Structure 1
């Protein structure tokens, strides 16, 4: 097996190991699944070791395969970064940049920034995936993962792009009909439209200016959804009160389609401050295309985010 073929086989092996699927690796590399299987079989023959257990519904690593995968993945990442740096020494950043972001945030604040970014860096090809489920950028082969909310402990590098602020609000029509809550306790008298995601029902937290602690307040209403924009639309129709980040509803508030309530209290969807972060593997710190995109996005958001301005 030639060195070129070996490199292709190694890349395919890493994708199969990360996704647990020959078909997924084939789709990512634009190859038929049978071709991926042949490359992996040739690699195992050359090594004299079985790397994968093949089952009808899944593929998993052998003990030897797990050790080999960890080493090969690091080597390929290092090779890709080294190649990018050599190419970038004489040219602008180039190559494929894979970005993952939450659905609503990506649609509202990432996708609209890509045209200007790619006009500035025409040699960068961008692949944007939107999902509200957290993904591991190492396993999925993603360069940058954008996440909103509380940042969990991780071995990944995180760069804070902005704080995340929440606002409770309703349409002027709802307030005219049902009145304005004067305290968080009075929310129990109102129809609250609540987000329910993979972690369950989102709780509503408030703290007054004289306190450092957020308190949870029980709310209920006639609509729950795992899609924030559906709840926002219901609020615009006068159905009830919502609690969402300013990046989602700032246009509606500035356009007076929604009116904030309980302004004297600081609101939150968690009992602790939240942020918007870019998360990536440590070796991506040396990637010029990653650095270029983060700089572009940070400049677009601003030191004070435009949705909080």
Structure 2
């Protein structure tokens, strides 16, 4: 008796496994959750195995499901690559390209570049997901992940897209009312608007040329886990912010914010970290991945376009 497995069922299974949610898998594929559930149930019946534990708040893989998930992921990746080549993609990128990027960076510097890329490569469809937490591109079936900070120690392939530079800034109105902050020692007298992520409130570090970074005590009346909210508060004259130039460059160029301590390098750690492209090594055999990687490197440039002709 034949036991044909539906490819859509397999892809939906991978999406449910990656997201932990039937609803999210349905959203990704433009299907009702009930349809996704039926596909997974049919797959389990054909295999004679439970692949998923259904919990009230989340869906998790069974032991057999985890093994099956890894094997199916590899098979589908090979199938997608073979299909891409069969369609003539050796000459032209084609197919679905899945990209994941941090929310603010993706909204400001990835999304605006997609139209030009797709105008150049009309056979490529893009699924852009913006999330701030690190994702495993293998587990999430993602072609390219863009991440900022330390590179994870893993078997993933990656390269630096561009270095990242931090700047301390405040609005002209704030500086008129409270004065400049010419040195780190002056910061305790200022209202500092501080980003607070999963690892707690960010620390501020400064150094002069040839020196090591030193942390500086900063305090303020506003913390947030959303950087853009803190930028808005700084624009309203509420206080000082310390953020990368890719987040502040438009405000700096327009004069809505003023860069402070130009003789010092700023950071949120004892070292500086860049913006990275991360992908499974096997994805580089795909022309759509290589073409987008090369396009992004060219479009961002060196130095990155947001650091060119910056008002300092």
Task: Using structure 2 for the length normalisation, give the TM-score.
Answer: 0.90
- Which whole-Å CA distance do the structure 2 matches of 1:81 and 1:267 have between them? 43
Q: Which runs of 5+ in 1 are unaligned?
A: none
Q: How far did 1:5 drift?
A: 4.3
CA distance in 2, matches of 1:23, 1:251: 37
The 5 Å alignment of 1:1-309 reads: 5-89=5-89, 91-211=91-211, 213-309=212-308
Structure 2 contact 17–61 (Cα < 8 Å) conserved: yes
Offset, 1:255: 2.3
1:268 offset after TM fit, Å?
Answer: 0.5
- Report the more deviating stretch, 223-232 or 133-142: 133-142
User: Which one is further off, 260-269 or 3-12?
Assistant: 3-12
Distance in structure 2 (CA, Å) of the matches to 1:49 and 1:240: 58
Q: 2:307 is paired with a residue of what secondary structure? A: coil
Unaligned runs of 5+ in 2: none
- Deviation, structure 1 residue 184: 0.8
The more displaced of 127-136 and 184-193 is 127-136
Q: Is the 8 A contact 1:163 1:274 kept in 2?
A: yes
Task: Measure how far apart 1:218 and its partner are.
Answer: 1.0
Paired with 1:183 and 1:257, the residues of 2 have a C-alpha distance of: 21
Moved more, 70-79 or 161-170: 70-79
CA displacement at 1:59 relative to structure 2 = 2.8
Q: Find the aligned partners of 2:299 and 2:287 in 1 and give their Cα distance.
A: 18
Q: CA deviation at 1:90?
A: 5.8
Name the SS of the counterpart of 2:147 in structure 1.
strand
Is the 2:3–2:46 Cα contact (8 Å) retained in structure 1?
A: no
Structure 1 Cα separation of the partners of residues 174 and 166 of structure 2: 20
Name the CA distance, whole Å, in 2 between partners of 1:288 and 1:300.
Answer: 18
- Give, in whole Å, the separation in 1 of the partners of 2:55 and 2:198: 29
Separation in structure 1 between the aligned mates of residue 186 and residue 98 of structure 2, nearest angstrom: 45
Cα distance in 2 between the residues matched to 1:23 and 1:174: 46
Q: CA RMSD in A?
A: 2.1
Return closer, same or farther for 1:229/1:3 CA change in 2, 3 Å cut-off: same
TM-score by length of 1: 0.91
Which deviates more from structure 2 when the two are superposed, residues 245-254 or residues 31-40?
31-40
1:91 CA displacement: 4.8
Q: Secondary structure at the match of 1:168?
A: strand
Return the offset for 1:74. 1.0
Report the Cα distance in structure 2 between the residues aligned to 1:104 and 1:89, rounded to whole angstroms. 32
2:138 is paired with a residue of what secondary structure? Answer: helix
Give the stretch that moved more between structures: 253-262 or 156-165: 253-262
Q: Residues of 1 paired with 2:87 and 2:76: CA distance?
A: 16
1:276 shift after superposition: 0.6
Shift of 1:68: 1.6
